[in-house]
Structure 1
Amino acid sequence: MSKRNLRCMYAIALLQGMVFYGPIATLYREAQGVSIAQITLIESISLALCILLEVPWGILADKLGYKNTMVACCFLYFLSKIVFWQATGFGGFLLERIMLSVVTAGLSGVDASILYLSCSGQDSQKVFGRYNSLQTAGLLMAALVFSLFVGDNYPLAGLLTVLSYGAAALCTLGLTEVKPPAPFSARLTLEVLRQTLSHRRLLLFLLAGVLMSEAHQTITTFLNQLQYARCGLPDEAIGLLYVAATVAGMAGIWSARLTHRTGKRGTALLLYGGGTAACVVLALTFSPLPSICAILGLRLCHTLFQPFLMELQNQQVTTPHRATALSVHAMLMDGVGVGTNLVFGALAEVNLSWAFWFGGVLCLAGLALFFKWYSSRPQG
């Protein structure tokens, strides 16, 4: 086990979690002249670019080594935050998201591989839980600073985020390589792609995972603020609720314990079912308290779900070209995300409740697919 790598990765997670404009991410963009439909369009363009870059980046990561890839991507991440800080209008935020697509595709599978290999696959759900919880701790710290000191000073929120991501980039220099770089082989890469696409059970698992994740991402990042606004909550209250949601996001450290007690089927039923119920409540209410409880509930379910999903996904990788395989997984999942983002945006423009109903359908479909995947597992 490489404790040095784990410490560096935990520090990076904490610092990159410090998005000081997080509580007003949608309002920030709207203040700079971007509508909700444009926001979701930018998200879809970003995901489409991720799809194009996923496999090439996975191949490059296996060739360059995971440390070098992590360093390059985190420094580019830092630059993208500078662009966000200075962005105005559709074009500026689109540029930032294009840069973020390059980063996301580059880090896809690399951070998880470093964590998984650094702990030799032992207690990886706990390691993933700590990693995700530290990202959330960073969000919490940033949200507290926003609520207490930043307020409606949006440019300051952007600047503080730039500084945090710069520090995270410097932390990557302390990483050590977890595996020797693999020579490039087009044949092996195509074989990984072919095996994934022909593995029906794996495809069921990936689709089940992305449906829950996309519902959570869109609702808790963008649509929640619109729901709070239509409930009549002021910006100060939205900032405090963001803090509460961030605290709920630290529950990932208990993901492994939950799975140990309830089993994989029980965990899936509890978390997918909770996500579905949260979306239904949001679709039916205009009142603050039910909306707050539903959004926090959805956040909690997904927080517990992520380490659970990451361990199961890494356990299914058998090739030494781990980053390539995980990039192929991410490419397929991002493809689903492009479509769901566009649907969410179109529905929210017409009727916000329709978008929440759609989120509920995604969570319920994810549960059905997960059970189908789990029931088809090899016996014995």
Structure 2
Amino acid sequence: MAPPLLCSFIKLMFTRYLPHDNTTKIAFISFFSSLYFYSHVGTLYLQERGLTLFQANSIGSIIIGTIFLAEVPTGVIADRIGRKNSVIAAMALQVLGEVLYLFSRHYWAFALIAIIAGIGFAFLSGAVEALIYDTLPLATRELEMKKAMGLSGMAHQFAFVLAPVLGSFFLPTYTLNRFLWAVFGTACSVAVALLVAFTLDEPTHAGADGEHSPSALTIMRSGWREVRDSRLLQWLLLIGVFTATFSMSLVTLYQPYFARFEISAFWMGLAFAAGAVLAGLGERYAYLVEKWLGKRWGFTLATLLPGLLYLALATVNAASAIVLLFILTYGVTTLKNPLLSAYQNQLIQSKNRATVLSLVSLLNSLYVALISLLMGWLADVDLRLAFGLIGGVIVLACLVLRVDRIEEKLGQSYGG
């Protein structure tokens, strides 16, 4: 657990520069922890350190595997030691990983860093949502949660776009010295996120009560029981899983798809930047879509639209239409996330929140990992099949699960 005196000292030092609410602080953390200045040349750096392409590619697999294994344990820990301490642990591990990245020269050192990074990402998974939700005003939690998650998502997307642009100043040439400066800049950025994490305010809940905290096994059982006993939570979980939009797979596959239609690298980069900005704005203002269209049609649109756009992307032949459809598709991949997060959190008890959210994330990650393999296999046959698969699954899931009944089901649950 973070020393209280250290937290107080850092908060005192930075209080004039930072907002007082956790929501905006989390957005700051999301932004600075996502500024990977070397993200666009990470493979080249690993090759410069002597790794083969197979070894470089396996680093990502190690991170994903570690997140999968650590997802639920870190959620339980977050409910036991407190969400603030979990965010601090996540940022500290991320800083440690970047520092080690500077000095590592062998594959197994980078594999160890991948494990450290995976544990750090897992710590963030349930703790951030739980921390935000439990600090929001009780009377307006659903609306404020949509705004808060949208702000955090926008911060991440904007950092995702800015990082390679700013990174180009660190990397005018692909030399080891320049790579190291980019990694050092990333470590400094994540260190800023760590300092902000120390200033977070811990919400009052049973899990952060020191000696009165329930055991890890008790928290785990309680969280699982909560999912098992709530039909509505199970329904929302199924919607979240089977309408997954595979944004990272889209980012990977659009590049050969553009090349197939002889779309230049300039338009490839511009389309990616435009899509990421649109995705950030979409997350930030998703609550307005629901406000304008109502809960029923707002959530239905946010959930169904990515599937329809994937299907359109799989069928058009004109290069200009492909560029436009990619921007729109990538731009709406995260549109439903703030809405779904708010609905789920209203159904979860505070004491189990991080654990339950980690269970949800675990199931979603398992589904995405399996379908991503199928997408990769189909993409080798025809990229259209991969896009068509995702679009078809999303549309079918929306119809079978009746996402249009969201207002009715939530109204019954809340007694409205």
Which band: TM-score by shorter chain?
A: 0.7 to 0.9
Secondary structure in 2 matching 1:303: coil
Deviations, residues 296-347 of structure 1 (Å, cap 9, x unaligned)? 1122212322211211121121242221221222222222222122222222
In the alignment, does 2:84 pair up with 1:67?
yes
Change (3 A) 1:93 1:215: farther
**Is 2:129 aligned against 1:104?**
no
Structure 1 residue 213 corresponds to structure 2 residue 219: no
Gaps of 5+ in 1: none
Distance 1:119 1:20, change over 3 A: same
Q: 2:95 aligns with which of 60, 74, 78?
A: 78
Deviation for aligned residue 1:164: 2.0
Q: 2:195 aligns with which of 155, 163, 170?
A: 170
Call closer, same or farther: CA 1:161–1:294 in 2, change over 3 Å: farther
* Residue from 280, 287, 291 that aligns with 2:322: 291
Residue in 1 that maps onto 2:376: 345
Report the equivalent of 2:344. 313
Q: 1:245 aligned to 272, 275, 278, which one?
A: 275
1:278 aligns with 2:309: yes
Contact 1:8 1:171 (C-alpha < 8 Å) held by counterparts: yes
Asked whether the 8 Å contact 2:279–2:334 carries over to 1, the reply is yes
- 1: distance between equivalents of 2:85 and 2:396? 38
Determine the C-alpha separation between the residues in 1 that align with 2:109 and 2:313: 32
Structure 2 runs not aligned, ≥5 long: 1-18
| Distance apart, 1:76 and its partner CA | 1.0
SS in 2 for 1:213: coil
The 5-angstrom pairing of residues 359-378 of structure 1 reads 359-368=390-399, 369=401, 371=403, 374=406, 376-377=409-410
Contact 1:48/1:335 (<8 A) preserved? no
Deviation digits for residues 27-68 of structure 1, max 9, x if unmatched?
A: 988997436x995x7666644443332222122112211111
Residue among 366, 386, 406 paired with 1:335: 366
SS in 2 for 1:195: helix
Letter of the 1:171 counterpart: V
Q: 2:53 aligns with which of 5, 9, 34?
A: 34
CA RMSD of aligned residues (A): 3.4
Residue type at the aligned position of 1:223 = L
User: Quick one: percent identity of the two aligned structures?
Assistant: 24
What is the match of residue 13 of structure 1?
Answer: 30
Q: Is the 8 A contact 2:271 2:326 kept in 1?
A: no
Moved more, 165-174 or 193-202: 193-202
Query: CA 1:48–1:366 in structure 2 vs 1: closer, same or farther (change >3 Å)?
Result: farther
Check conservation: 1:59, 1:323, Cα contact below 8 A: yes
Query: Structure 2 CA distance, aligned partners of 1:347 and 1:232?
Result: 21
SS of the residue 1:321 aligns to = helix
Work out which of the residue numbers 197, 203, 221 in structure 1 matches 2:228. 197
Q: Which amino acid aligns with 1:174?
A: T
- State whether residues 136 and 246 of structure 1, in contact with CA within 8 Å, keep that contact through their aligned partners in structure 2: yes
Structure 1 letter corresponding to 2:228: L
Determine which structure has more spread, i.e. the larger CA radius of gyration: 2
In structure 2, the CA distance between the partners of 1:330 and 1:170, relative to structure 1 (3 Å rule), is same
TM-score by length of structure 2 reads 0.77
Q: Which residue of 1 aligns with 2:159?
A: 138
CA distance, structure 2, for counterparts of residue 360 and residue 61 of structure 1: 35
Give the AA of the match of 1:64: I
Tell me whether 1:223 sits opposite 2:253 in the alignment: yes
CA shift for structure 1 position 70? 0.8
Q: Distance in 1 between matches of 2:46 and 2:389?
A: 24
Aligned match of 1:300: 331
Query: Which residue of structure 1 aligns with residue 145 of structure 2?
Result: 124
Match of 2:204 in 1: 179
After TM superposition, the structure 1 stretch with the greater mean CA deviation from structure 2, 192-201 or 313-322, is: 192-201
Residue 114 of structure 1 aligns with an amino acid whose one-letter code is L
Query: Structure 1 residues 130-139 or 256-265, which shifts more?
Result: 130-139
Whole-Å separation in 1 of the counterparts to 2:274 and 2:113: 28
Separation in structure 2 between the aligned mates of residue 4 and residue 43 of structure 1, nearest angstrom: 34
1:11 CA displacement: 1.4
In 2, the alpha carbon distance for the partners of 1:171 and 1:38 equals 32
Q: TM-score, normalization: structure 1? A: 0.84
Count of residue correspondences: 376
Residue 326 in 1 paired to residue 357 in 2?
yes
Contact 1:273 1:364 in 2 (8 A): yes
CA contact (8 A) 2:250 2:330 kept: no
Query: Is the Cα contact below 8 Å between 2:297 and 2:404 reproduced in 1?
Result: no
Range that drifts further, 356-365 or 236-245: 236-245
Deviations, residues 231-285 of structure 1 (Å, cap 9, x unaligned): 3344444333332122112212211111111123212332233211221233234
Taking the aligned partners of 1:234 and 1:90, their CA distance within structure 2 comes to 34
Q: What is the CA deviation profile of residues 179-219 of structure 1, one whole-angstrom value per residue up to 9, with x for unaligned ones? A: 25141332343132133134343223112113333422321
Alpha-carbon distance between aligned partners in 2 of 1:370 and 1:94, rounded to the nearest angstrom = 43
